[in-house]
Structures are given as C-alpha cells and as structure tokens.
Structure 1
Amino acid sequence: MIFLGTIVNALLIVFGTLLGRFLKNIPERMKETVMYGIGLAVTVMGIQMSFQSEQFLIAIISIVIGAIIGEMIDLEGMLNNLGIWIESKVKTKKSDGGIAQGFVTATLIFVIGSMAIIGAIDSGVRNDHGVLITKGIIDGFTSIILSATLGIGVLLSAIPVTIYQGLITLFSTQISQFIPEAALNFFIKEMTGTGGMMIIAIGLNMIGLTKIRVANLIPGIVVVAVIVTILYNFDMVAMPSE
C-alpha cells in the first residue's frame, strides 16, 4: 500500500490535535508562555531550514515575487474567510483560536521541508514508509502543542498534508524518471530554504513581534520551482552538493 506513510502521517496529526485539545484549559498565563516558547522554537527551526539554501538570491526573489502574487490574490483573506465559514459550521469560539491561523501555521510547518518530498517518493518508488512515519511522529507531537494554543484549525492541516504527499507518492515513479536527481535535489534545497523564511515569519508572529501575512508568501514556493527549472535547463548555475 503505497499511501500507508501518508495516511499514518495524517492520522498522527489528527490524533495529536485531539490530544492537544485536552490541554486547552491550562491557565491563560501559562498558555501565553507556552505560545512564546513555541514561537521561539519555530523561529529557530525556520532559521535552520533557511540555511539549506545554497543560492540565497533564489529565496529572496521567490519571497518577493510570491508576496506580490499573494497580495494580489489575497490568499490570506481567502483562508481567513474559509476559517470564518468553518467556524460558523462547527460553532468554534473565536476566543479558542482562529481556525485559519491554526490551519495555515500547521500546514506550513508540516508541508515545507525535505522529509515530505523524500518520504513520499520513497513510499511510491520503494514502498518504504519509514521517512513519512518518522515525520508523522514528529508532526503528531508538534500538533499537540500547536492545537493547545492555536485551536482545532491545526487538525485541518492533515488535509493538505494528505493531498500534497499523496500526489507526490502517486506520481513518484514519473518524478524519478523525468526529473533529474540533481534538479530535484536543487529544488528541495531551495524550497526548504525559502520555506524556512516563511517559518521564521510564523515564529515571529507567534511571539507577537510581527504581523506578517504569511499565507500571502506561499506562492513563493511555486516561484522557486520556476526559477530552479530555468536555471537548471539553461545550465546557469552549478548544482548544489549532496
């Protein structure tokens, strides 16, 4: 079953979120301190991810162009409206944490990074689910903490995780056949570096230092793919080391 790793990953996110909801009644002062602690941890994680980039100019250009596209289509507004609609359906209290915030924050943390791509390809090509199951355990523990502070919206991140990793798994054979390994490694590094900058923004928002509309930066990931494709096909840059 090639989708086993993705299914386990999604279920662990759901389980972790539900478990974290039992912690929602901790004192407000404690919840605030925990939120700051998570924000610091997320910021450090983003910094580590950003250093994966070996062509930092790609990350800068991708963030800038992605931000322009995101602001033009108002992706953040779309997600907030979706969150408001879901809240109206499930009767979630506003004070319990916006669904959109939890959804966007968790999705970026769980999707951006090399483990999602490498693990999904391993599942599809070699039927080896070890990487995705390991990622699922990490995501599960992370979702416990996130849901305790950001609310039930964290649970919804299991949907894009399933779709994203599932599609990579489904087309993993074609990906490995038609995309050269060097180009794929190049994209993973630059995507992780660019995503790391978005993760830093999430962490700073959680601490309360900034109010960056992180969702409007998401199109930058697509821009990374375009830039990497152009550079690789025209042999305009040396491929990064393994």
Structure 2
Amino acid sequence: MNFSSSKLPIGTLINMGTVTIGSLIGLYLQGIFPENIQSIIFQAIGLGTLVLGVMMSLKVPEGYLLNFIFSLILGGVVGELLGVQAGLQGLGDTIKEALNITEGAFTEGLITAFLLFCIGSMTFVGAIEEGLEGKRDLLMVKSTLDGISSIAFASTYGIGVLFSIIPMLIFQGGITLMARQLQQFFTPTMIAQLSAVGGALIIGIGINILDLGAINVENLLPALLVTLPLTWLQQRMQATK
C-alpha cells in the first residue's frame, strides 16, 4: 500500500500506536513505583497540565475574549442540563464492568488523555494536512509527544489513558477523512479559539489533579461544541463589516 496517498488516517493510527505503547509502559511502571514516587509524579503532572492549559488558553484570538467566556458559560449550562458527567461516568462504569476493570479513575483518565491528546492546534492542522496533502510530519511529531506523555499519565491514571485511543480515532481520524469539507471551516481563528477553550478545560484538570479545587470538567466539555457556532457567527459578522 502507498501510505503517502492512502485515504486512511495513517497518522492517527500511528498516533494510537504510540499512545498504546506509552500507556502499556506507564501501566507497568505503575506497579513498580513506590507511593512517594507516584505522589511526586502526580504533582509534576498537575503542574505541567496547568502550564499547558495556560499556554493554550492564551491563544484566544484578539476580539474573541467574550466569545471564549460565553462558550464556557453556555457549554457548562448545556453540560449540566444534559448531565454529561453522569452520562460519561455511567459509560465508564459500564466499560469497567464489562472488562472487569477495578480502577476508580478510569473515566477521568480517559477524558483527561483525550483532551490533552486531541484538543490543540497540532491535532487540527496535522489532521487536515494529512487529509488534503498526505503530509504527516506534524502528526508524527504529535505522535511522539503523545507517546511520551501517555507513559506519565497511564502511570498516574491507569488504563483509562489507553482507552483514549478510541475517541482519538473518531475525532482526529474523522477530521482527516473530512479534511476537504472542514478546511474552510477550521480557519486559523477557529483553531485558535478551540485550542483556547480546550486550554481552559485543561487548566480545570490541573486544578483537580493538584486538589486546588473541584472543577466539573466533564460538564464543561460541551463548551468545545458551543464555541464552534459562536466563533463562526462572529467571523461572518466581522467579514460583513
């Protein structure tokens, strides 16, 4: 098969492979590290997550700050009304029961890994580049970074990190397959705004990891969807001025 011209999301499949390998290494190390080492790793991950979230949230495009805030507010309201947290927890519990998984942080690990691995400019730009031009350079870099990160996250959260490859395939692979249709929609402004909203959610994850508060990140997830029409509408309004 000629991978350079393949219509399959090869970059995403490779990304899934690196996360799988990294997660398995992390799960192995989880049983080796003593409690004090696990604790300091947990704190380091929390600090790193906070920094990453701040860096991403600072990508709010000029003039889109209110859009950013309203996306989080409306997304949170939608999440509460729909009971996203309860739904995801129920789904996680079903998977855990079906696979006889005893870890309590399964759902948290899956959601945390998905946000970190799939919400960012590298995901959108890399997936679109592969779909349109067959270029996978950016996704190869991302795959390496995700593979390394998954070692640390799996050693902390457990097997839920490994299962993040499923939404990764659907989300990132889906963008590659639909790249031609999404190219005009995912403008640099749209990508920056999505990254910023995702960054805010990642800050929430960092706060939770460090026990600085209790942010309901799951119910804020719809903010990622809400910001799409809000940003599109603002772009259209600015274009008509």
Q: What's the TM-score once normalised by structure 2's chain length? A: 0.92
Look up the match of 1:92: 101
1:55-134 to structure 2, matched below 5 A, reads 55-94=64-103, 97-134=104-141
Q: 2:161 aligns with which of 143, 154, 157?
A: 154
Question: Distance in 2 between the 1:196 and 1:209 partners?
Answer: 17
User: Which moved further from structure 2: 228-237 or 37-46?
Assistant: 228-237
Look up the match of 1:207: 210
| Alignment RMSD | 1.5
1:6-17 to structure 2, matched below 5 A, reads 6-17=12-23
Q: Are 2:196 and 1:193 equivalent residues in the alignment? A: yes
1:153 partner SS: coil
Question: Distance in 2 between the 1:38 and 1:165 partners?
Answer: 24
Listed one character per residue, the Cα deviations across residues 35-78 of structure 1 (whole Å, up to 9, x for unaligned) are 01100000000000011102222111100100000011111111
User: Which moved further from structure 2: 44-53 or 75-84?
Assistant: 75-84
1:212 partner SS: coil
Look up the match of 1:21: 27
Task: Give ranges in structure 2 of 5+ residues lacking alignment.
Answer: 1-5
In 2 relative to 1, CA 237–196 (structure 1 residues): closer, same or farther, beyond 3 Å? farther
Look up the match of 2:147: 140
CA contact (8 A) 1:231 1:237 kept: no
Sequence identity percentage: 33
Task: Give ranges in structure 1 of 5+ residues lacking alignment.
Answer: none
Q: What's the TM-score once normalised by structure 1's chain length? A: 0.92
User: Could you tell me how far 1:91 is from its partner in structure 2?
Assistant: 2.0
Q: Which amino acid letter does the alignment assign opposite residue 22 of structure 1?
A: Y
1:152 partner SS: coil
User: Which moved further from structure 2: 44-53 or 80-89?
Assistant: 80-89
